[in-house]
Structure 1
Amino acid sequence: MTSLLLALCNLEINAHQRVFLSDWEQSTLNFQASNNASYTTVNNPSQDAVNSSSQVGKFVSTAYQWDFLSLNLSEEIDFENYPVYKLKVRTSAVGTIMMKFEDGPSGSYVARYATPSNTNQWEELTFDFSGIANGNYGKMIITFDYTSTTAGVEWYLDDFVKAKQNVDTTRPTQPQSLSVTKTSSKSVSLQWNASSDNVGVIGYVIYKNNTEVGRSNTTSFEVSQLNANSNYTFTVSAYDLVGNESGKSNTVNATTQNMGNGNFITSVSLQKTSMNLYDDLEVDIQLNARYSDPYNPNNIKTDMVLITPSGKELVVPCFYYSGVSRNSLWKGRFTPQETGQYQLVVDVEKTQNSQRSGVYTFTVNNSYNDGFLHTNEASFYNLKFDSDRKFRGIGENFAWEARLDLGDDQTFTYDYFFQQMKSKNANFIRTWMCPWNLPLEWKKTDFGRYTDGNETYNLSAIARMDWMLDQASQNGIYIMLTLDYHGALLEEPDYWGGNNYWWDHNYYSGNGGPISDHKAFFTNESAKQLYKNRLRYIIARWGYHTNIGAIELFNEVDNLIRDENFNANDIEAWHNEMSTYLKSIDPYNHIVTTSITGAEINNMFHQPNLDLIQSHPYGPVEGVISAIQTLTDRYNKPYVAGEFADDWVAPTSQTMADYQKSFHRGLWTALFQPTPILPMTWWWEDFTYEGFNDELTSVSAYSDIMLNAMNDQEQTLTITGNDNIDKMGVKAGDKLFVYFYNKSTTTRSPNMTISGVDNELYYVTSFNTTTGIMQNEASVLGSNRQLVIGLQNLQAGKDIAYIIQKGSYYLSQSNQRKQFLEQADQLKIYPNPSTGIINLEKPEDYHHLTIYTALGREVLSVDLDSAREKISLSDQEKGVYLLKFFDVNGNATVKKVLLNK
């Protein structure tokens, strides 16, 4: 492919800004047409101002979907200097074109899309690969019949060029005529005139008192969570694709309304007034308010407003539970993230009036609970709980329970599968909301498990969701909750002959919804408001639950572009708007993500409120590793392989061994990459039947050791040696974790060199990746900041992991700690609760004690010389105290004492 990369025609213009690759006159690339499609050079059928060339390329499609031209490549693609590809086209039928570079590093590919705006006239399309790293790719593919199977569509092509990225420094014009259109006691609605830009305005930034409070891709926005009877100033700016921001609009002032003198609240009842940190509080709110739709916050909105012990104000959405207009029960659910005394009021807001309840108080005591999961900005190897404890997700997809009408194995329910995962020491699953599983927003359900209904939100789905989260809590399983999947918006059957659920969708006008065109889902204001209502209901009813580990807006949303020509910009803007809204109403700051198969949608993952990058890299394991490294570097965010397997086609008896090998290697190689959730297989039923879930047990055991060593300063190890051995490693805390895989066809015993170590004695413990058995191997002295590890008889297609540390073998250290913890049964602390004096009876190995308050402040540190000791806390305030006992090896265990005076 020398012609493409070195520009065969050597026609360079605009000081190397554009390089011609093919003009179908002086130069023509050796494209090959797929299937029975035809490709020739012909006379230009219509010369015009866009294209006056004499000769052009002509491609005619067949009835086969995804007809394409392919071009073999042989040299590195220079995306860094020439990221933009342009192609003039003329077509007899408008459809999306995909330009893809495939067979890249570790089997990866990159793709971009463009759609002509008219038929039978020339226009220039742009495919922008900015931000993609240079790489060697095997093929370029240009797919013309990307979203249809229409035969005989003619595509004329000309002036194929690659170009430098034009650095756009032009700022959009200032938004004009900013005005206030509506105020309430807690919100202000704004509207303004659109800005313009030389390339295009992407969205608007809304400022409250000179601080950004939100973004909008339309010319209106509601600023919420404001205080009643308060003054605010607002301005708006515009921004374009590359982030150029306009000057700010005119400033408007707004005063929120008083809470009003409504008489809606009959009673407010807190189910408890004292609770532990990260436990949940439920509040019953009885209303006599009139409403027409309790699920529409523009009709009636109920919130709890809390003042935390630190003085922070939280707004927690409440949800309609039961009853009718003038006599309804609402509930608020809340999980506290601070200790101390809280103040709580209930706000009810209607179109014409509002009311605030009296003040209620409750107290939160410290606990050993961990709280909610969040991304860890300091290290992409793990997530962190509110408690600061680290977490690494290990598990599988469980997208849905058994579909009764399809004859699925009815064993596969949430309780069964959660118990399966728990028994393998797994802790994470990914599950869907869709027409046949947790169909919250589907009146017509599928496959028999759920009941159809006319309610706004499906009652059988609500009940199952409540139950499912309870099961997750009992089994220690954290959930990535996927709110939608691409099939919900498709009109035509897909590859599998189904998944075209648009005609059953609640938003479809034929079912009483606001839109007839499925593509308007992402742009229509009424449709977007319905979706926001749904997000609000989810946060109000289930947001309190700490086992919701992440919220995924869409499964494989890029399939909508591929299959039915949805607009990428619309999808990108929708994700920005919905993720921003979700963050604005979620007091717990849940992790938010969305997923693609692999084809990125513009720069969507740059959006600030999408916390995780997620794609689904089926195929060689190397593709998973490439995705982790490439996308993490590109977006500076953690990446998760939300689905993966040897293939996206179900395994058979002939291929099952390949799937197990892929499963094993995918988990183990990802352990040594900066991903906080290990790749999750899609084939949960097959793998359960075959016993493959046992792979999770050994991975989890090794991961726990690694996780306990992590200190947010993880480093990738440099390991050299035999090229037939894949090698990777991570330094975590004071330990080195390394992994080797023999990819050759013969047994090998090479030496491997780890660089960047200290010139000290290291102890090497092996870890069998299949059985989880550890064995002390050798002590090795570092020299010249290198450590040489000898692999002994590593069989073809097999792998091994090691734990390497100074001072002692990890296995010996592990046994010491096990013995230390077993002695904890001999430890006696009394009286407990105590009024000031604590008596201790302890094992001989417990030689030191440090005492902390529940908030972590050290109050006493003392050596323990006798089997019986007396400790005084008489000078301390009442409350919970943590007693941390140590042995001479640094092992520690913690006990809790309650001090009452």
Structure 2
Amino acid sequence: MSKKFYGLSGVLWLSTISLWAQSIQSFKQLNTNPTLYTKTEFDIRLTADWQNPYLQEDVALDMVMYTPSGKRLVLPCFYEEGESGKQSLWKARFAPQEKGKYEYAFELSKAGSVVARSKDATFIAAASDKSGFLHPKNNWEFQFDNGKPFRGIGENIGWESRKSDDSKFFRELQQKPKYDYEYMLPALAHHGGNFFRTWVCSFNLPLDWHRNFNSTRYEESDAYYNPSAIRKTDRLFNLCDSLGLYVMLTLGPGNYSPRDGGFSPSAADFFVNPKSKARYKNRLRYFVARWGYSTSVGAWEFFNEVDNVQFGNKNKPISADSIVAWHDEMSKYLKGIDPYNHLVTTSISHRDLKGMDELRHMDFNQKHIYKNTTSIPAAIVRYERDFKKPYVIGEYSYEWDWSKNFDDFADEMDSDYKRGLWYGLFTPTPILPMSWWWEYFDSRKTDEYMKKVRLVSDQMLATGKGSFEKIEIHASDSTVITYAVKCGGKTFVYAYNPTSAVKNISLTFKGSGGSAELFDCESGATKKVMVPKSILLKAKQDVVLISGK
């Protein structure tokens, strides 16, 4: 036995003596050649008594590891099948973040105390060409384990099509069966996207719902976690991994109602009830155990627009203090059980909750902005300045009201979609603003525009190697919207003419002068120009000027 394990409470005794009723019989490593940032899976056979194998206060299995550098990791494992008191199958899914030799053992706990422990074993993780997991770097970008910089470009793909949609004008469009992950995610990747946001809720990935899904994709079940939702989530992450996509998974509150096995009759009670909080922690543990291995987990997001939950009853809003305290407790817990240290966040619609943006274990803050896309850059700058952490616009669009016919102002919808991406690219945010209404923009092929933004973003990251410096810029016409960023030896200038008149402008900024490349944002065409020589901007036209080496 490795001496590294002797410090575990009771481990030496339990390694040789184990209560037969609670014992680990065997374990098997399913892939024999582990590599960095890739799933290595283990089957564990054990016998234990339980009331519910998904509740850690009843029974829990952990994989305790020492990494090649000597760091101790504890990975939650998850129940797969079997009965209480008989041999059951559990699984561990782990993605190494260090090359070299790992030492590990499995520990079985009952009511929080270790009651059995497997023999010790080892495996060796080899290098791979993968980049790893996303982590904070600065307000402009995230970075992978290998140091490679990352900026997210994408959209909301909130859910797969529902059986019955509530859209007044686009019900037929939004109910189309083709709008599933197998269609939408490859399309996103093809269009240059690398990031999206999706929900866990009663009609999409309904982990803790049993019936009434408003979807034909899920099967009724009385199981604690719905097997058809588990299978669909497995497929989702396999698809993301194959496409190089990163997802902000909006976990939501889950199904906390007493009629469905929960403990809280109201949202207000959910945030303070100890039983509901314990139930939610077990839910978090399951997400980490089953899907935490995936580098495609771009972020765990607790709530979609938690301020709307707060004001669900406008006459009796939920205390902001209780919501903030809940997020503080859950983010600390999640960081404590996630060995990969995935990014953690939550979101608001438009009402700030005092203290939420300052929570230590939340990696970035987030809000949603509709009908005011021009305000996005200033909002991002203000929040990241005030709270010293990245800020993300998780949803935006020209219109939020689905009772309106978007076709009446389709050109404005398209233009707003495009502006939001460019404003984000030239603003200190690691994830560019993400549009809503994915089916609508797919039907109009508007989302193909992401390719052009991705081209410029890739240049910024490559030439600057992750460095961003905001610089002042002067346009000869103040009606033209301009932003400038220096990345390494190159300066990138965005100029947009929002008016209906043709503008002939000159641009002056630090280092301007000489030849530059002018990128037309709509056509994607480029040409050589001289700076600060006048540039002709047609009505509603935008360009990116790239100067330097």
TM-score norm. by structure 2 comes to 0.92
Alignment-derived partner of residue 624 in structure 1: 376
Alignment-derived partner of residue 584 in structure 1: 336
Alignment-derived partner of residue 189 in structure 2: 422
Preserved CA contact (<8 Å) 1:719 1:727:
yes
Measure, in 1, the Cα distance between the counterparts of 2:6 and 2:122: 22
Q: How does 1:449-528 map to 2 (within 5 A)?
A: 449=216, 450-484=218-252, 505=255, 507-528=256-277
Asked whether 1:343 is paired with 2:86, we answer no
Alignment-derived partner of residue 356 in structure 2: 604
Preserved CA contact (<8 Å) 1:273 1:361:
no
Alpha carbons of 1:436 and 1:227: their partners in 2 closer, same or farther (altered >3 Å)?
farther
Alignment-derived partner of residue 520 in structure 2: 768
Secondary structure of the corresponding residue to residue 454 of structure 1? coil
Measure, in 2, the Cα distance between the counterparts of 1:708 and 1:319: 40
Asked whether 1:381 is paired with 2:133, we answer no
Alignment-derived partner of residue 215 in structure 1: none
Asked whether 1:359 is paired with 2:147, we answer no
CA offsets 1:319-347 (integer angstroms, 9 cap, x no match): 00111112210000000000011111001
Aligned with 2:8 (options 225, 228, 233): 228
Preserved CA contact (<8 Å) 1:228 1:258:
no
Preserved CA contact (<8 Å) 1:766 1:775:
yes
Secondary structure of the corresponding residue to residue 605 of structure 1? helix
Asked whether 1:637 is paired with 2:389, we answer yes
Preserved CA contact (<8 Å) 2:398 2:412:
yes
Q: C-alpha displacement at 1:575, in angstroms?
A: 0.2
From the CA coordinates, give the structure whose radius of gyration is larger: 1
For 1:441, the aligned partner's letter is D
Secondary structure of the corresponding residue to residue 406 of structure 2? coil
Measure, in 1, the Cα distance between the counterparts of 2:429 and 2:318: 30
For 2:215, the aligned partner's letter is G
Asked whether 1:540 is paired with 2:289, we answer yes
Measure, in 1, the Cα distance between the counterparts of 2:508 and 2:67: 54
TM-score norm. by structure 1 comes to 0.57
Q: C-alpha displacement at 1:659, in angstroms?
A: 0.7
Preserved CA contact (<8 Å) 1:262 1:353:
no
Secondary structure of the corresponding residue to residue 625 of structure 1? helix
For 1:566, the aligned partner's letter is I
Asked whether 1:615 is paired with 2:395, we answer no
Aligned with 2:35 (options 276, 280, 297): 276
Asked whether 1:736 is paired with 2:497, we answer no
Alignment-derived partner of residue 884 in structure 1: none
Preserved CA contact (<8 Å) 2:267 2:309:
no
Alpha carbons of 1:329 and 1:653: their partners in 2 closer, same or farther (altered >3 Å)?
same
Secondary structure of the corresponding residue to residue 362 of structure 1? strand
Measure, in 1, the Cα distance between the counterparts of 2:6 and 2:219: 39
Measure, in 1, the Cα distance between the counterparts of 2:104 and 2:14: 18
Preserved CA contact (<8 Å) 1:308 1:342:
yes
Q: How does 1:706-725 map to 2 (within 5 A)?
A: 706-721=460-475, 722-725=477-480
Measure, in 1, the Cα distance between the counterparts of 2:156 and 2:266: 32
Q: C-alpha displacement at 1:258, in angstroms?
A: 6.2
Alignment-derived partner of residue 404 in structure 1: 163
Secondary structure of the corresponding residue to residue 370 of structure 2? coil
CA offsets 1:797-838 (integer angstroms, 9 cap, x no match): 2111111114xxxxxxxxxxxxxxxxxxxxxxxxxxxxxxxx
Q: How does 1:256-295 map to 2 (within 5 A)?
A: 261-263=18-20, 264-295=23-54
Q: C-alpha displacement at 1:713, in angstroms?
A: 3.9
Measure, in 2, the Cα distance between the counterparts of 1:649 and 1:437: 22
CA offsets 1:496-541 (integer angstroms, 9 cap, x no match): xxxxxxxxx4x32333432334311000100000000000000000
> What value does the CA root-mean-square deviation take over the aligned residues?
2.0
Alignment-derived partner of residue 876 in structure 1: none
Q: C-alpha displacement at 1:257, in angstroms?
A: 9.4
Q: C-alpha displacement at 1:620, in angstroms?
A: 2.1
Asked whether 1:793 is paired with 2:536, we answer yes
Q: C-alpha displacement at 1:307, in angstroms?
A: 0.8
Preserved CA contact (<8 Å) 2:14 2:117:
no
Preserved CA contact (<8 Å) 1:272 1:362:
no
Measure, in 2, the Cα distance between the counterparts of 1:275 and 1:510: 44
Asked whether 1:678 is paired with 2:421, we answer no
Preserved CA contact (<8 Å) 2:206 2:213:
no
Measure, in 1, the Cα distance between the counterparts of 2:77 and 2:231: 17
For 2:542, the aligned partner's letter is D
Q: How does 1:12-411 map to 2 (within 5 A)?
A: 228-229=8-9, 261-263=18-20, 264-325=23-84, 326-351=86-111, 354-376=115-137, 379-406=138-165, 408-411=175-178
Q: Percent identity, aligned pairs only?
A: 37
Alignment-derived partner of residue 176 in structure 1: none
Measure, in 2, the Cα distance between the counterparts of 1:346 and 1:548: 25
Q: C-alpha displacement at 1:712, in angstroms?
A: 4.5
Preserved CA contact (<8 Å) 1:345 1:358:
yes
Q: C-alpha displacement at 1:256, in angstroms?
A: 12
Alpha carbons of 1:517 and 1:702: their partners in 2 closer, same or farther (altered >3 Å)?
closer
Measure, in 1, the Cα distance between the counterparts of 2:204 and 2:31: 33
Measure, in 2, the Cα distance between the counterparts of 1:667 and 1:605: 24
Q: C-alpha displacement at 1:790, in angstroms?
A: 2.8
Secondary structure of the corresponding residue to residue 537 of structure 2? coil
Q: C-alpha displacement at 1:483, in angstroms?
A: 0.3
Secondary structure of the corresponding residue to residue 213 of structure 2? coil
Secondary structure of the corresponding residue to residue 442 of structure 1? coil
Secondary structure of the corresponding residue to residue 310 of structure 1? coil
Q: C-alpha displacement at 1:453, in angstroms?
A: 1.7
Secondary structure of the corresponding residue to residue 443 of structure 1? coil
Measure, in 1, the Cα distance between the counterparts of 2:210 and 2:544: 51
Aligned with 1:413 (options 180, 193, 214): 180
For 2:528, the aligned partner's letter is N
Alignment-derived partner of residue 440 in structure 1: 207
Secondary structure of the corresponding residue to residue 749 of structure 1? strand
Measure, in 1, the Cα distance between the counterparts of 2:162 and 2:500: 43
Q: C-alpha displacement at 1:792, in angstroms?
A: 2.5
CA offsets 1:4-30 (integer angstroms, 9 cap, x no match): xxxxxxxxxxxxxxxxxxxxxxxxxxx
For 1:514, the aligned partner's letter is F
Q: C-alpha displacement at 1:427, in angstroms?
A: 0.8
Alignment-derived partner of residue 400 in structure 2: 648
Aligned with 1:703 (options 457, 461, 475): 457
Task: Report how many aligned residue pairs link the two structures.
Answer: 525
Q: C-alpha displacement at 1:227, in angstroms?
A: 5.0
Preserved CA contact (<8 Å) 1:228 1:257:
no
Measure, in 1, the Cα distance between the counterparts of 2:468 and 2:264: 50
For 1:655, the aligned partner's letter is F
Alpha carbons of 1:553 and 1:257: their partners in 2 closer, same or farther (altered >3 Å)?
farther
Preserved CA contact (<8 Å) 2:461 2:467:
no
Alpha carbons of 1:513 and 1:279: their partners in 2 closer, same or farther (altered >3 Å)?
closer
5+ residue gaps, structure 2, are 166-171
Q: C-alpha displacement at 1:559, in angstroms?
A: 0.4
Measure, in 1, the Cα distance between the counterparts of 2:280 and 2:330: 8
| Structure with more contact order per residue of length (Cα contacts < 8 Å, sep ≥ 6) | 2
5+ residue gaps, structure 1, are 1-224, 231-254, 489-504, 781-788, 807-901
Secondary structure of the corresponding residue to residue 384 of structure 2? helix
Alpha carbons of 1:664 and 1:353: their partners in 2 closer, same or farther (altered >3 Å)?
closer
For 2:140, the aligned partner's letter is Y
For 2:377, the aligned partner's letter is I
Q: C-alpha displacement at 1:715, in angstroms?
A: 1.2
Query: Larger deviation: 585-594 or 446-455?
Result: 446-455
Secondary structure of the corresponding residue to residue 770 of structure 1? coil
Alignment-derived partner of residue 204 in structure 1: none
Q: C-alpha displacement at 1:397, in angstroms?
A: 0.5
For 2:487, the aligned partner's letter is A
